[in-house]
Amino acid sequence: MATVVEPQVTTYQQYIDGEWSDAASGETYDIINPSNEEVFARASAGREADADRAVAAARRSFDKGEWRNKTQAQRTEIMYAIARHLAEVSGDWAAIESQQAGAILRKTSVVDVPLGIEHFRHHAEMALQIPWYEPLPWVDTPHVSWNFVSREPIGVCVGIVPWNFPLMMAVWKIAPALAMGNSIVLKPSPFTPLTALKLAQAIDETGLLPKGVLNVITGPGAHAGARMVEHPDVDKVAFTGSTRTGREIMRMAAETVKKVTLELGGKSANIVCQDADLDIAVDGTLFGTFFHQGQVCESGTRLFVHDDIYDEFMDRLVSKARSLVVGDAMDFSTQVGPVINRVQYDSILGAIERAKADGAKLVLGGGRAEGAGDKGYYIAPTIFTDVDNSSRAAQEEIFGPVLVVQRWKDDLDVIARANSTIYGLAGGIWSRNTRRAIEMAKALRTGTVWINDWHLLNSLAPFGGYKQSGNGRELGLYGLLEYTEVKHIHVDQGVPREERFFYDVLLG
Ligand code: NAD
Ligand code: MN
């Protein structure tokens, strides 16, 4: 009889009130590596009871005030010290991120981990610019009162994040919440909780954050996540994920009228003009489309190529896309890894079949990646041309390595088509004529526009959506302000009773 050697499977606990603990139910669930479908870790299956405990801890810590009552300079210094520690202990995070998310090691080691830590530090730095007190010169009548605006932390924040950039998304919720003096409960995607837990562990090791200010619970969204969105002791929900779940979260948050910021789906238009630098535009389009298997909310998955350069551009694009190497995320030669899980794999293949049925012309890919073996969720980079802008392939967020292409001739027409979607997250224009490109950029109804580039988000620049791509902004001062409340304080200047005319409305 053959001996089966069980690979080392680590079980991760949740982080609540500064302690590591199992789910209240004691249950765990498997974390699967999408490159090979093997179970390589387990996490706690947190549910309502765990959410309640985490919210209570966050509430206690906020009400106690140890974190929110520090000065901004103190909070920033502490976050800098934490960031230095993250840099020291994050040696294995890129590998863990690749294993859980199917994100290629080339990306996790160059983008997710170093930029994640940098963004953590950057939020602390930007926080120094927040105007916590803003004097108002006068309100209505001069010499009656002194007036100022006091900014304050919101309270208990909940961050709910997806699986595509697990560490980065955790940082984008935790860092602004902490920088602004809030307490937070983070719920990573059930598929990818490990680097968020590593982050919490590293922060815990510093001993610099009061207990309960940061909590991480894991498990299925519909239980712990929904509970927190409805919880009366939660003041704000910051969500990143699908538009469908975003709508549901807004509905659930309505009962307690919570502050809700949403960063949702997209179907971003990538417009290539006839005067574009084609070398850059071809590579930039590949990067904008197939980076992380297209599982990025701001991916440029709707390509519009000008008629004059269409044939040359498409020849070059398709031939380069054909040579992309699909394989195991941990292999440094891989350019396109697996998609996250079976459900997404089936959903993307379904979208590809619908595009074929709707009459789009398949020019590359169109199914499982050849030579990928039979394990792992590998989809070939796929390109459809002759796509009708009103078809499902052009309107639905596929969230996979699938590009749909249209031709254009007239600026106004291409802008109208680009804007004809429920989404408004991002867009891009390739042109050597900067003035024209800026005009087009202003006409796009999206939160970000790249001119001659893609995907480069800047921690100083606001990121978020128009239309059904979301509410509010992340990153930059705009993002930090979303984690504050605004209070007007009116200080009477000692005005005598006889000059208080408004009192006479009632009493006179
Ligand atoms: P999702 O929106 O369902 O999940 C995102 C997060 O919300 C996860 O942490 C999940 O556990 C949680 N959640 C789910 N239901 C919830 C509920 N009722 N209450 C509270 N929290 C809940 O996304 P998904 O299922 O992981 O992916 C599905 C689709 O989402 C993808 O095909 C893609 O279109 C989109 N997506 C978008 C982004 C983005 O960055 N905008 C990222 C990942 C996925
Ligand atoms: Mn996103």
Helix (H) or strand (E) holding 259: strand 259-263
Q: Which of 325, 305, 326 is nearest to 316 (CA)?
A: 305
Among 297, 396, 397, 474, the one annotated catalytic: 297
Question: How does DSSP classify residue 469?
Answer: G
| Whole-number pLDDT of residue 4 | 55
3-class secondary structure, 494: coil
Q: Which structure tokens are listed for 137?
A: 């010169």
Please give the distance, rounded to the nearest whole angstrom, from the Cα atom of residue 296 to the centre of ligand 2.
6
Which atom of ligand 1 is found nearest the CA of 263?
A: 41
Which atom of ligand 1 is found nearest the CA of 226?
A: 19
Q: Which of 7-16, 294-303, 379-388, 459-468 has the lowest mean pLDDT?
A: 7-16
Q: Which structure tokens are listed for 320?
A: 């380069």
Sheet of 38-44: strand order equals: 10-12, 38-44, 28-33
8 A C-beta contact, residue 424 and residue 298: no
Which atom of ligand 1 is found nearest the CA of 347?
A: 32
Please give the distance, rounded to the nearest whole angstrom, from the Cα atom of residue 46 to the centre of ligand 1.
17
Residue 140 binned pLDDT confidence (cut-offs 50, 70, 90): low
Question: How does DSSP classify residue 302?
Answer: E
Mutate which of 44, 243, 245, 251 to test ligand 1's pocket (most atoms within 8 Å of Cβ)?
Answer: 245
| Whole-number pLDDT of residue 1 | 44
| 273 is a catalytic site residue | no
Please give the distance, rounded to the nearest whole angstrom, from the Cα atom of residue 306 to the centre of ligand 1.
35
492-503 mean pLDDT: 90
Task: Work out the mean pLDDT of the chain and round it to a whole number.
Answer: 96
Q: What string of H, E and C letters represents the secondary structure of 438-456?
A: HHHHHHCCCCEEEECCCCC
Q: Look at the chain and count its residues.
A: 508
Separation CA 42–CA 494 (nearest Å): 65
169-178 mean pLDDT: 98
**Residue whose structure tokens are 């863990």:** 96
8 A C-beta contact, residue 59 and residue 185: no
% of the chain at pLDDT higher than 70: 98
Does residue 225 carry a pLDDT above 70? yes
187-207 mean pLDDT: 98
Residue 7 binned pLDDT confidence (cut-offs 50, 70, 90): low
Q: Which structure tokens are listed for 135?
A: 């004097």
| 48 is a catalytic site residue | no
pTM, full prediction: 0.96
Question: How does DSSP classify residue 326?
Answer: B
Q: Does the beta carbon of 393 sit less than 6 angstroms from any atom of ligand 1?
A: no
Mutate which of 31, 160, 197, 448 to test ligand 1's pocket (most atoms within 8 Å of Cβ)?
Answer: 160
Q: What is the dihedral of CA 313, 416, 437, 268, to 10 degrees?
A: -70
8 A C-beta contact, residue 186 and residue 215: yes
Q: Does the beta carbon of 293 sit less than 6 angstroms from any atom of ligand 1?
A: no
Q: Does the beta carbon of 248 sit less than 6 angstroms from any atom of ligand 1?
A: yes
| Whole-number pLDDT of residue 372 | 85
Q: Which structure tokens are listed for 142?
A: 């001069």
Q: What string of H, E and C letters represents the secondary structure of 131-159?
A: CCEEEECCCCCCCCEEEEEEEEECCEEEE
Helix (H) or strand (E) holding 64: helix 48-64
Does residue 283 carry a pLDDT above 80? yes
Among 97, 230, 248, 263, the one annotated catalytic: 263
229-251 mean pLDDT: 97
Q: Does the beta carbon of 222 sit less than 6 angstroms from any atom of ligand 1?
A: yes
Helices and strands (H, E) in the chain, number of each type: 17, 21
Helix (H) or strand (E) holding 316: helix 310-322
Q: Which ligand is nearest to the CA of 242?
A: 1
98-120 mean pLDDT: 98
Separation CA 161–CA 175 (nearest Å): 14
Does residue 72 carry a pLDDT above 60? yes
Q: Does the beta carbon of 400 sit less than 6 angstroms from any atom of ligand 1?
A: no
| Whole-number pLDDT of residue 431 | 98
Residue 222 binned pLDDT confidence (cut-offs 50, 70, 90): confident
8 A C-beta contact, residue 381 and residue 321: yes
All residues at 6 or more sequence positions from 74 whose CB lies less than 8 Å from its CB, including other chains: none
Q: Does the beta carbon of 470 sit less than 6 angstroms from any atom of ligand 1?
A: no
Does residue 5 carry a pLDDT above 60? no
257-283 mean pLDDT: 98
59-83 mean pLDDT: 98
Which amino acid, residue 323?
S
8 A C-beta contact, residue 378 and residue 372: yes
Between 371 and 21, residue with greater pLDDT: 21
Instruction: List, in sequence order, every residue forming a beta bridge with 12; answer none if it has no partner.
Output: 43
Q: What's the burial of 173, exposed, middle or buried (CB within 10 Å: 0-12/13-18/19+)?
A: buried
Separation CA 206–CA 345 (nearest Å): 40
49-76 mean pLDDT: 98
